[in-house]
Every structure is written in C-alpha cells, then in structure tokens.
Structure 1
C-alpha cells in the first residue's frame, strides 16, 4: 500500500456533505485500487433504514465489499465508541487481506474517532437516565450541558438530541465534563482525507432532488414499516431528519405532505451548513471540486498518496 515495513498502514477517507457523491466516488476508487469500503455513517448501521439514509443498493454492494452496513436493529443503541471498535476491526481485516481500506461517509464525529484514534469514555448507555433526558425539551438539555460542560457546547451538534444526551449522560455518570474525557491516542493509520465540495446553490439542488427521489422511492412506506416493527415515533426522531419529518407528518404535525417535504429540504440545507462548518475545522482534507473531473482528481490524489516514499542512499 505504498508503506515500508513498520510504518502505519494506509487509509483513504472519502467525506463530504449530504448528497455530495461520496458513495459513488468511494466505489469507483475501491474498484481502481483494489479496495474495500467501511461505512462511516451513524445511521446506515441500522437494518431497515435504507431509503432515508441513501444506503448503497445491493447492486452497488455487489461491486465492492462494504462493511458496517445493516449490523444492528433500529431499537438498539449504537454509539460512537462501538463504531470506533468495529471500524478499526474492519479496517485491520481489510489490510490483513492485502486490500486498501476506504472509510466513506458524512458522519464527521465517527470519522474523527478513527483517524485521530480518540480515547472515548467507556460509559455504557444508562437506559433509565437516558429515558429521563429524552423526555426533556432540547433547549433544557442544552442549558444543562452549558452548565456542566461549556467546552462541549462549542463543538457539539446542538440540533442533534442524541449527541447532546450522550454528552450529558457521560457528564452525569462520571461527574466530569465529557470534553475532558476524550483524549487522542497515537493514530493507527496514515490517512488521506478527500472531501467533495460543490457550489452551495448547486449542492442544495442536489439535496432537494435526492429528497424528491426518496419520497418517490417509498420513504413514507419505509417509515410506516418501521412503526409496524415497533419502532416508536420518539425513536424515529433520533434517527435523522428524514425519519423525524415523515414521522411527525404521520402524527399530523404538518397540514400536507408537500409542506413536510419542503420543511425537510430546508432542515437538510441547515444540516449541510453545519456539516461543512465541521469539515472546515479539519486542515488535512484535500478538497475536490465535484463539478470538475472529480474522479480523475481523486484518482490522482490517491496515486500520489500511495507511491512509495523514495529511499536515499
């Protein structure tokens, strides 16, 4: 993989905002460089969350081996600590098989735990405490986190109740701020981070088109199936914007499907802005223009990265 014996193994990371084309680029690069893909998506780990998460299709999965898709049920709690453990195990297995691992996704917090090898607080889910926190409105949760751990408030996704509740959970169980318990160990891999960027208006058009496609593909029916399987509306709220908005529409919170879809699009634009702000904090990302020879530029970047380091006599 371009390394000398004893050096860190190579890892290619393909990231970017919603609807930027990460999955397609990851598959193309994996085909060109004898690779396998590890999904870095906090929702694609769940079985039955296919349309709403834009999970790669069975046909796409047949092209290249994919790891960490469909590994838990939606009722289960699957957090970042478990993801880190599973992702490192999958990456190491791919390396041992002589293949190139590609970590592909848009869940930046999940990606960080792998590329930076964070030490994550080993606090198992506290179901009773979590249930009490989930019953509180988000502004109250944020106020509590601001009091207990103001540093986390600067970096956490304040629109994501699941992230806020987890940070509070760790604070309350350990008696220490969550932000002070997450250290960085020695990185396990030599990483190339490739980010896909588009002009903002065009990216919003891509997001809107994808939402329309998901609705036509049966997103509402997917949510109804999840409800029939015993997934509560409260749990759907925590599984991402698509499930949250469709669930609330089914509960009568919006006067029409059209208004629900429009509100979902606006919320997705807002989420994308937050994604981009997170990504901009990472100086190692090599940004690729989605409009100009994306595959060619990505291929060249990977080739340059994988070239063996010249040895000097």
Structure 2
C-alpha cells in the first residue's frame, strides 16, 4: 500500500446509508466528504434528495453540496473538474477524500481516467429545436449513419442529441468517450447493498418520511424559484411527482406512490451499474459492524 492513503468512495443504490457511512469513515480516517449525487448539487433540494443535514455531518467538511440553482443544468464535465480540484485540495490539506454518491457517471468522472467531450450551446439548441419540430426519427437516422454503435445503444432522445453534438464538435463517436475501468489514483470503492425486499421496504419508509418532513412544501418553494424550467432538477425523484400535486394533477398519496415506484426502479438501475464494476467491494448495511468492516477494506488498500 502506498504511503498516501487511497481515495475512498462509498457507492451503491439509493437508500442504503451511504451518506451516514461516508461521515463515519471521514471521522475515522481524518477525511472530508465529496458529494457525488447529481441532485444534491442543487440548493434547496434537501428533503427529496435525502441530503444529510448539517447536524448529522458531525463537523466533517462536505464539498459540492448546494452549488447549483434549480434552473441550472448539471454537467458531468463541470462536476469532473470541480470534484478533481476538490480531491486535490483535500489531499493538500493532508486529509483523506471520501467520495459519496450513487450517480454512476459522476462517480466515474471523479475517479476514473475519463475524457469528457465539451459542449456548445448553439449546436445543442439547434439539435433540440430539430427534435422538437421533426421528432426523433431524423436525428436517430443521422446518428445511425455517423455513429452506429451509439445509435444501437441509446434509447433516450436527449442522449441522441448529445451524441450528435459530440460528433459535430469532435468528429469522434460518442462511444469513444466511454470510461475505462482505470482509477486516476489509488482508490477503494465500497458498495452498499442489501437484499431486494429489505431495500424496497427501506425506500418506501424513506419516501413516507420525506412526505411527513414536508416534501410537498419544499417542491412548492422550488417551483416558485424555477424548478419546472430546470432541465436536470425537475427530473429528480419525487420532485416531478410532487409538481403534479402542486399543479393539481395528483393527490399527495398518488405522488408518494409514484415516487416509491420510481425510486425502486432507480435503485435497480444503480445496482446494475455498480455491480458491473469488479473493483467495488460490497457490504450489506443490514449486518452489524458496518464501519469496522468498511475500515478493514480501506486498510486492505486498492486491489492490485
């Protein structure tokens, strides 16, 4: 193991207790937490994103929380620059970076050798206008001609726009920028996951607690600040569903039920993403001694 401690990352499906373990690890290791949850970047999105309250951070410095307004679009490239600069700053202070979050591509952007293509608002706007006026068919056909591998993989219309934007800007296929499983520096990735029915029960209980804590009122406040216009923020779990309550299209009970379903689906996608990475070492948070087991993994160091 190198003299310098590895970066520690806590990843996995939502609702498994990543934020709490991140704080405990940071306290034990002399570390600082770096957020890698795309929706926790947003100011005011606290209840619905399960953002850890200041009182529960126990004095541990947290970075990259509350850095965007809900009208701003989150960018993986911007996050990569900010996360890497933050990790370097933590290192310079002699502390251990503890990256915590379940946004898979954001985690990879922070930790892995990954080149991210730039963006051009004018190109993006032109492609989006074409999508709105002509539908996805012509764009998909164009993508099949210039980048057949991406065309075969991509299902979402917005990602078709992004793939064409990348082609226009770089002349390279979108797939050329897919990340390799190669850490930028020594890293220990700890994954939290538990049995599916247990996680489903935890997620249902968490949504119920969010509703009781005032999720609807939070959404109302954010709607007045432009949540509906936010391309990224408005898609956050719970926020779109409770905008329907604010707009009179759904009851609170209906929105809560829809949020539970969407959250379970999201957790399944997160599990698939992180389970595909053989570098992640898995722990069940339902078993006793979670912190001690996690510290043993950190002490073992990165896999060789």
TM-score (norm 2): 0.86
Instruction: Name the CA distance, whole Å, in 2 between partners of 1:213 and 1:36.
Output: 28
Instruction: Name the CA distance, whole Å, in 1 between partners of 2:204 and 2:128.
Output: 34
Which residue of 204, 208, 214 corresponds with 1:212?
208
Q: Which residue of 1 aligns with 2:222?
A: 226
CA-CA distance at 1:230 after TM superposition: 2.9
Partner secondary structure for residue 38 of structure 1: strand
Which residue of 109, 112, 116 corresponds with 1:116?
112
Which residue of 165, 181, 194 corresponds with 2:190?
194
Q: Is the 8 A contact 2:73 2:231 kept in 1?
A: no
Q: Which residue of 1 aligns with 2:129?
A: 132
Is 2:63 the counterpart of 1:67?
A: yes
The count of corresponding residues between Structure 1 and Structure 2 is 300
The two structures, once aligned, show a CA RMSD in angstroms of 3.0
Q: Deviations over 1:213-272 (max 9, x none)?
A: 111111111111111123325647743121111113333433x22122112211111111
CA 1:82–1:133 in 2, change beyond 3 Å: closer, same or farther? farther
Is 2:90 the counterpart of 1:94?
A: yes
CA-CA distance at 1:108 after TM superposition: 0.8
Instruction: Name the CA distance, whole Å, in 1 between partners of 2:164 and 2:244.
Output: 26
Partner secondary structure for residue 103 of structure 1: strand
Instruction: Name the CA distance, whole Å, in 2 between partners of 1:17 and 1:104.
Output: 11
Q: Which residue of 2 aligns with 1:244?
A: 240
Q: Is the 8 A contact 1:13 1:193 kept in 2?
A: yes
Is 2:277 the counterpart of 1:282?
A: yes
Q: Which residue of 1 aligns with 2:2?
A: 3
Is 2:37 the counterpart of 1:37?
A: no
Instruction: Name the CA distance, whole Å, in 2 between partners of 1:138 and 1:41.
Output: 31
Instruction: Name the CA distance, whole Å, in 1 between partners of 2:266 and 2:181.
Output: 30
CA-CA distance at 1:46 after TM superposition: 1.2
Q: Which residue of 2 aligns with 1:292?
A: 287
Matching of residues 248-259 of structure 1 within 5 Å: 248-254=244-250, 256-259=251-254
CA 1:73–1:277 in 2, change beyond 3 Å: closer, same or farther? same
Matching of residues 66-85 of structure 1 within 5 Å: 66-85=62-81
> Quick check: 263-272 or 145-154, which moved more?
145-154
CA-CA distance at 1:295 after TM superposition: 1.8
Instruction: Name the CA distance, whole Å, in 2 between partners of 1:67 and 1:186.
Output: 24
Instruction: Name the CA distance, whole Å, in 2 between partners of 1:205 and 1:153.
Output: 37
> Quick check: 182-191 or 106-115, which moved more?
182-191
Partner secondary structure for residue 98 of structure 1: coil
Partner secondary structure for residue 66 of structure 2: coil
Instruction: Name the CA distance, whole Å, in 2 between partners of 1:44 and 1:163.
Output: 22
CA 1:146–1:60 in 2, change beyond 3 Å: closer, same or farther? farther
Give ranges in structure 1 of 5+ residues lacking alignment: none
CA 1:300–1:236 in 2, change beyond 3 Å: closer, same or farther? closer
Partner secondary structure for residue 232 of structure 1: helix
CA-CA distance at 1:187 after TM superposition: 4.0
Is 2:101 the counterpart of 1:105?
A: yes
